[in-house]
Structure 1
Amino acid sequence: MLFPGIRTVGVIAAAAAIGASSVVFKAQPAAAQDTSGRIILGVDETASEYWAEFLQGAKSVAASVGKEAVVVVANYQGQQLLTQLSAVYSSGCEKCALVAIPSTNAFTKAILDRSARAGVKVVTIWNRPEELHPWDTQSDTWVAHNSFDGVASGYIGGMAICKALDGKGKIAAIGGGSSSAVARQRLDGLKKAIAECPGLELVDVQYGEWQEIKGQTITRTWLAKYGDELKAIASGNDAMASGAIAALREKGLNGKILVTGSDGSAVAFDLIKKGDMLATVWQNPTLQGAVTAALAYGVAAGDIDLATLPEEKRDFYLKQQGVDASNVDKFIELKRSTPAYDYADIKAKIWEQSDGQIPEGANNVR
């Protein structure tokens, strides 16, 4: 999904059809428009609900200050993101801001180094190596890092399962990516819940790489092995949970084997309403897009003094909340009535949305 008023740089469908190796990214000529103050948004894709809503929030902030939003689509490839950023930066980028997800931790430093050479201020989201922080690595460039607490997310889902199963039964978990810190955090949160519900038995963990179809395939395998002895599936995100439910539906087990997810997608809310899904965790991507874009832009424009930001405001979580049948209607309405975010309003309230500093060790991948 592409948004009007946003210029997108990336592999479009036609280019993908002829192969990524034949795609050449070219920056627009500097004379074509004023390139100062642009807000550049480096995302994995634009088709998913999460990324579409993230872009909506960031776009609102850009529009409120009359600045161009440039979307760079990486297709989950860190090198592709770097190549495209170089093309965007080559046209000139005075007072530009970047909000980006490094596809893996391995690309975080390279993105920061390239942005520093271009004078671009950066907020990263989701992925950063444990040993790198905004105050000790390219500290004049790297404004902040933002994420959601994966341990809390996994714990919320795990405790929902514990309560629904009266604390006993065989469960399995679909993790995100085997090399993802966020996936590891959500599994750690699930294991924390299991430790408090010793009657729960985690019989298997498989990795679905955040993809719905892989969640479906993994669940089919489990059903062949465990049948209805399996009482619940804890999924690292809503897409994989949806895939799991599709596999359960094939056997008439939807709503009988419990499923949890994370992200708070509209699909998950609908599945909760139908009784096919037990719970998810609301993480507001529209607000995340607005908050991170406002922070990066504010520093780039000289409106926020980076030197005055303490560490807890440069490496922080945003708030999240569990969603189940008891409160899903509230969150459905929140999605329907998402506001158009304004830079001045967001800037004044950024830290009201913070859920605290990211703790030491949170970004370890093991």
Structure 2
Amino acid sequence: MSAKDNHSGVSRRDFIKLGAGAAFAVAGSALPGFSSGADQTTLACSFRSLTNPYYTSFNKGAQNFAKSAGLPYVPLTTEGSSEKGIADIRALLQKTGGNLVLNVDPNDSADARVIVEACQKAGAFVTTIWNKPKELHPWDVNPNYVAHLSYDGVEYGEATATELFKSMGGKGGIVALGGIFSNVPAIERKAGLDAALKKFPNIQLLDFQVADWNSQKAFPIMQAWMTRFNSKVKGVWAANDDMALGAIEALRAEGLAGQIPVTGMDGTSPGLSAIKSGELVASVDWDPYWLGGIGLSMGLEAKQKKIDVATLSKDKRESFCKATFVTKANVQDVIKRAADPTVDWNTLYARVAGPVVYR
């Protein structure tokens, strides 16, 4: 078999790479070799893994901002472990003496409180992405907890489900892949799916399982579903592109890739390619490149006292940001933008869509 199927938007080699433990994925955690001048602020991002295209783009955005600021940058990966994520951040806080600006996507929601408190104690500045407890707010930890950035998962979970159901003619059975149970975006996106199901009574949810945002976990789940439900499966909803791609590979093994509609979210490069080829119906581009850098930019401006976060409106402290719903109609434009991203890191709030809504 060739490395890339002629009918595939994602090469089998690339799919395998998504789950491979790339050596550089944990390179940012090698703190013993890290050094920074005592008077120089260190920038850092903490996120799940560099084997996921979403976080690869997130990290590139952070690197670009760090280069523009002329400051050292350290990527930290949790590899799905809250303990590792928190320990690495604490180690970096100690090594920098708290002279740190951190942009963090906590592995679990509860991790955010521990991380924020550690940063506050050390005098560091932190922005959280996606995950945090509802009762934890940046304005309660001034000035160190700069902002929380997220997107309306319910809205977009429903939007992708609706697009999927329409592509199925409004009837038939679907299977659904969710993220980590304790992740806020996973919970919200599932709520969006549930909302769409209520509006389409002729769509039947055959089964819902979590695959931890991971294509390699989604692949065997989809294989088992095809054995269990066979021709009853008329569509696949996935809470992110990576899991959607795992499902597509399982469908490809059955000769059904591109025939059974699949939706994802994240707007990753492989996901966009799959939309272009017709194997993925829809996705949502959160622009992780922008997220990776803008969280650092907000934190650095707060640290340098260019902004006084205590005086900002709450929608600028806890923000739902603007996203792009992607289908075949606009995928080429999104691909073009992703290939050559241009961001004004000084424009902090242009993409604020409104305050975070807790449902």
**Is TM more than 0.5 here?**
yes
- Correspondence for 1:346: 345
State whether structure 2 residue 100 is matched by structure 1 residue 96.
yes
- Correspondence for 1:200: 203
User: 2:168 is matched with which residue: 138, 162, 165?
Assistant: 165
- On the 8 A contact 2:25/2:50 being kept in 1, the answer is no
Tell me, in whole angstroms, the C-alpha distance in 1 between the residues paired with 2:128 and 2:181. Answer: 21
User: 2:252 is matched with which residue: 249, 254, 270?
Assistant: 249
State whether structure 2 residue 49 is matched by structure 1 residue 45.
yes
- On the 8 A contact 2:241/2:268 being kept in 1, the answer is yes
Tell me, in whole angstroms, the C-alpha distance in 2 between the residues paired with 1:316 and 1:202. Answer: 32
- On the 8 A contact 1:156/1:281 being kept in 2, the answer is no
- Correspondence for 2:65: 61
State whether structure 2 residue 238 is matched by structure 1 residue 235.
yes
Q: Structure 2 vs 1, CA of residues 180 and 91 (structure 1 numbering), >3 Å: closer, same or farther?
A: closer
Letter in 1 for 2:139: W
Query: What secondary structure does 1:33 align onto?
Result: coil
User: 1:79 is matched with which residue: 80, 83, 90?
Assistant: 83
- Correspondence for 1:151: 154
User: 2:126 is matched with which residue: 112, 115, 122?
Assistant: 122
- Cα offset, 1:290, TM superposition: 2.0
Please give the per-residue CA displacement for 1:171-210, whole angstroms capped at 9, x wherever unaligned.
Answer: 1111111222211111111121222222211121111111
Letter in 2 for 1:55: N
Query: What secondary structure does 1:303 align onto?
Result: coil
Q: Structure 2 vs 1, CA of residues 155 and 307 (structure 1 numbering), >3 Å: closer, same or farther?
A: same
- On the 8 A contact 1:162/1:200 being kept in 2, the answer is yes
Q: How many residues align?
A: 337
Q: Structure 2 vs 1, CA of residues 133 and 333 (structure 1 numbering), >3 Å: closer, same or farther?
A: same
- On the 8 A contact 2:109/2:182 being kept in 1, the answer is no
Query: What secondary structure does 2:190 align onto?
Result: helix
- Cα-Cα RMSD: 2.2
State whether structure 2 residue 276 is matched by structure 1 residue 270.
no
Q: TM-score, normalised on structure 2?
A: 0.88
Tell me, in whole angstroms, the C-alpha distance in 2 between the residues paired with 1:35 and 1:224. Answer: 60
- Correspondence for 2:283: 280
Moved more, 253-262 or 53-62: 53-62
Letter in 2 for 1:26: P
- On the 8 A contact 1:53/1:285 being kept in 2, the answer is yes
Q: Structure 2 vs 1, CA of residues 91 and 154 (structure 1 numbering), >3 Å: closer, same or farther?
A: same
Tell me, in whole angstroms, the C-alpha distance in 1 between the residues paired with 2:266 and 2:221. Answer: 20
- On the 8 A contact 1:35/1:91 being kept in 2, the answer is no
Query: What secondary structure does 1:67 align onto?
Result: coil
* Unmatched segments (≥5 aa) in structure 1: 1-10, 17-22, 362-366
Tell me, in whole angstroms, the C-alpha distance in 1 between the residues paired with 2:250 and 2:205. Answer: 19
Q: Structure 2 vs 1, CA of residues 255 and 150 (structure 1 numbering), >3 Å: closer, same or farther?
A: same
Query: What secondary structure does 1:177 align onto?
Result: coil
- Correspondence for 2:16: none
- Cα offset, 1:238, TM superposition: 0.6
Tell me, in whole angstroms, the C-alpha distance in 1 between the residues paired with 2:134 and 2:208. Answer: 24
- Correspondence for 1:7: none
- Correspondence for 1:355: 353
- Cα offset, 1:36, TM superposition: 2.6
State whether structure 2 residue 111 is matched by structure 1 residue 107.
yes
Tell me, in whole angstroms, the C-alpha distance in 2 between the residues paired with 1:205 and 1:175. Answer: 7
Query: What secondary structure does 1:91 align onto?
Result: helix
- Cα offset, 1:25, TM superposition: 4.7
Please give the per-residue CA displacement for 1:302-340, whole angstroms capped at 9, x wherever unaligned.
Answer: 11111211211111122112211111111111111112x
- On the 8 A contact 1:27/1:88 being kept in 2, the answer is no
- On the 8 A contact 1:213/1:243 being kept in 2, the answer is yes
- Cα offset, 1:15, TM superposition: 11
- Cα offset, 1:78, TM superposition: 2.0
User: 2:320 is matched with which residue: 314, 317, 334?
Assistant: 317
Q: Structure 2 vs 1, CA of residues 105 and 231 (structure 1 numbering), >3 Å: closer, same or farther?
A: same
Letter in 2 for 1:352: A
- Correspondence for 1:26: 32
Tell me, in whole angstroms, the C-alpha distance in 2 between the residues paired with 1:221 and 1:112. Answer: 41
- Correspondence for 1:4: none
Q: TM-score, normalised on structure 1?
A: 0.86
Query: What secondary structure does 1:252 align onto?
Result: coil
- On the 8 A contact 1:72/1:81 being kept in 2, the answer is yes
Tell me, in whole angstroms, the C-alpha distance in 2 between the residues paired with 1:284 and 1:25. Answer: 28
Query: What secondary structure does 1:296 align onto?
Result: helix
- On the 8 A contact 1:133/1:315 being kept in 2, the answer is yes
Query: What secondary structure does 2:41 align onto?
Result: coil
- Cα offset, 1:301, TM superposition: 1.2
User: 2:178 is matched with which residue: 152, 156, 175?
Assistant: 175
- Cα offset, 1:239, TM superposition: 0.8
